[in-house]
Amino acid sequence: MVNRKLVRFLSFRYIILASILIVLAGGLVLLPKYEKREGISPETLLSNVISPERYITTDELADRIINQDPSLLLIDVRDKNNFNKYSLPNAVNIPLKNVLDVDSEPYLNQDQYDVILFSNDNLYSDQAWVLCNRKGYKNLHVLKGGINTWFSTIINPKQPTEDMPSNAFKQYAFRKAASMYFGVAYPKKAQKQAVITKNTNTVSVPKKIVPKKKKKKMPVEGGC
Amino acid sequence: MGPLIPNDIISFEWSSIIAIIIGIFFGFILEASGFSSSRKLAGVFYGYDFAVLKVFFTAAIVSLIGLLYMDYLGYVDMSRLYVHPTYLWGAIIGGAIMGIGFVAGGFCPGTSLSAVAIGKIDAMVNVVGIMVGVFIFSELYPLFEPIYNGYFQGNITLVDSLGVNPFWFVFLLTIVAIIMFFATDLIRKRVKKVFY
């Protein structure tokens, strides 16, 4: 038996399908619009925040600075006073409150350099890192421990005691050498050098005075 | 949730297996709906059968509407979908050549393969013709290279290049498509019926 009602219904099948399409497409137009969030999804941000991959140690950073790694871009997120007092060589000052400014975007949002954020500890730089990471910027790193750890490890390294492993001594040697690169003078070495210089320069040679002739300024002549 | 493979819900290695499965179903449905017949395909150009136009246009609209709804509800992130890059003149010239081949041979590349699968000789000739075309193109590649790689517009969509609201665009496109379906039906009734 042919179901007559079904047959009659199915004779309109194309019209029904067409109207379903129009209703669905019209529904898209009528949907209430909402602002889409920019940048990465919350899940990715969370997993990025948890992962310790973003940290770079002071030793590694010192090694890269000394080897004149051209891909480094150091960014100081402390305020201007602190930046003027002391900062790492060739650092750029972008205070935390200015991280999202238009002017600072070219520094942070690029894929040419390894951006290294640092502050006194890694607290503010972590905040800056979260802000930038949220916007989807790449190659961002945070100096572990910030300037404080930089001082206690690179600038003023602790001498290892005798019962420490040989690695600690190697590390100490590296840090001491690095601190000399960054301009720390060790009084013992300075004294020794002074002694050597005295021994070599025993005979005092009277200084020859070479008179420099001062060029007379010629009056400006008229040119053609 | 987003696109499954870019979001690592399905691992990347599965992509070719999934592609093969989708391809098998695609070929099967092409064959089942009669698209392995060159007479049915060529009917679009002679006006006695508009199934090709209707099927592919409907497929495009259904997937568009579905994707926009899923994007709205957060199931698919449209910005992470692959958009094929546009090489303007390459696409125009290639489309014209492909259209001529479509009218002359009665197959497009996909349907010709599904017709080969059921043993049609004209489709086999068509596939050999495609291979010859590919060979000529690769041999003369230096000649075609400026067109092939030139006029690059990036991964743009119609909505981007027109700068219109995607929802309104889809709505208008749907209405245009349905008007087109009715119009082609009228044409089909006027044209002399061809038995195939």
Whether residues B1 and B69 share a domain: the answer is yes
Chain A CB within 8 Å of residue B174 CB: yes
Single out the residue of B56, B184, B172, B53 nearest to residue A22, CA to CA: B172
**How many A-B residue pairs are in contact by the CB < 8 A criterion?**
36
B75 touches chain A (CB under 8 A): no
Give the C-alpha distances (Å, rounded to integers) separating A135 from A73, A108, B180. Answer: 19, 10, 44
pLDDT tens digit sequence for A10-54: 888 888 989 999 999 999 888 888 777 777 878 888 888 888 888
Residue B8 shares a structural domain with residue B79: yes
The domain spans of chain A are 42-154
Query: Are residue B97 and residue B126 in the same domain, yes or no?
Result: yes
Residues B190 and B138 both lie in one domain: no
The verdict on B116 and B147 lying in the same domain is yes
The confidence score (pLDDT) of residue B61 equals 93
The ranges of chain A with pLDDT < 50 are: 196-202
Residue A209 has a pLDDT of 66
For residues B1 and B56, membership in a common domain is answered with yes
Question: Residue B43's domain spans which residues?
Answer: 1-84+163-196
Rounded Cα distance, B97 and B82, in Å: 25
Please state the ipTM of this predicted complex: 0.76
Burial class from Cβ neighbours inside 10 Å (0-12, 13-18, 19+) for residue A185 reads exposed
Name the phi and psi angles at A112, rounded to 5: -90, -40
Instruction: Find, among B159, B153, B152, the residue nearest to B67 by Cα.
Output: B159
Burial of A94 (0-12, 13-18, 19+ CB in 10 A): buried
Same-domain pairing of B94 and B149:
yes
pLDDT exceeds cutoff 90 at B96: yes
Q: Are B37 and B28 in contact (CB under 8 A)?
A: no
Q: What is the mean pLDDT of residues B48-64?
A: 90
SS3 B35: coil
Q: From CA A137, how far away is CA A114, in angstroms rounded?
A: 11
Q: What is the pLDDT of residue A32?
A: 84
Structure tokens, B61: 């609209």
The torsion defined by the Cα of A210, A211, A213 and A214, in degrees rounded to 10, comes to 120
Q: What is the pLDDT of residue A88?
A: 87
* CATH no. for A42-154: 3.40.250.10
A31 contacts B178? CB cut-off 8 A: no
Positive or negative torsion for Cα B166, A137, A35, A42: positive
Interatomic CA distance for residues A179 and A157, integer angstroms: 8
Q: Is B55 on the interface with A (CB under 8 A)?
A: no
Picking from A21, A23, A33 by the largest number of B CB atoms within 10 A of its own CB, the best residue to mutate is A21
Q: Are B14 and B109 contained in the same domain? A: no
Ramachandran angles phi, psi of A74, nearest 5°: -90, 130
> Rounded to whole angstroms, how far apart are CA atoms B108 and B53?
13
**Domain check: are B97 and B72 in the same one?**
no
Asked if the Cβ–Cβ distance from B171 to A28 is below 8 Å, we say yes
Residue-level pLDDT at A210: 67
Helix axes A13-30, B166-190, angle to 10 degrees: 160
Q: Are residues B65 and B142 in the same domain?
A: no
State which of A91-95, B80-84, B131-135 shows the largest mean pLDDT: B131-135
At A200 the pLDDT is 47
Tell me: do B139 and B180 sit in the same domain: no
Do B63 and B19 fall within a single domain? yes
Higher pLDDT, B84 or A201: B84
Single-letter residue type at A108: L
Residues in Cβ contact with B10 at an 8 Å cutoff, skipping those fewer than 6 apart = B4, B18
Total domains in chain B come to 2
A24 touches chain B (CB under 8 A): yes
User: Quick check: A28 and B170 CB within 8 A?
Assistant: yes
Q: Does A18 touch chain B (CB under 8 A)?
A: yes
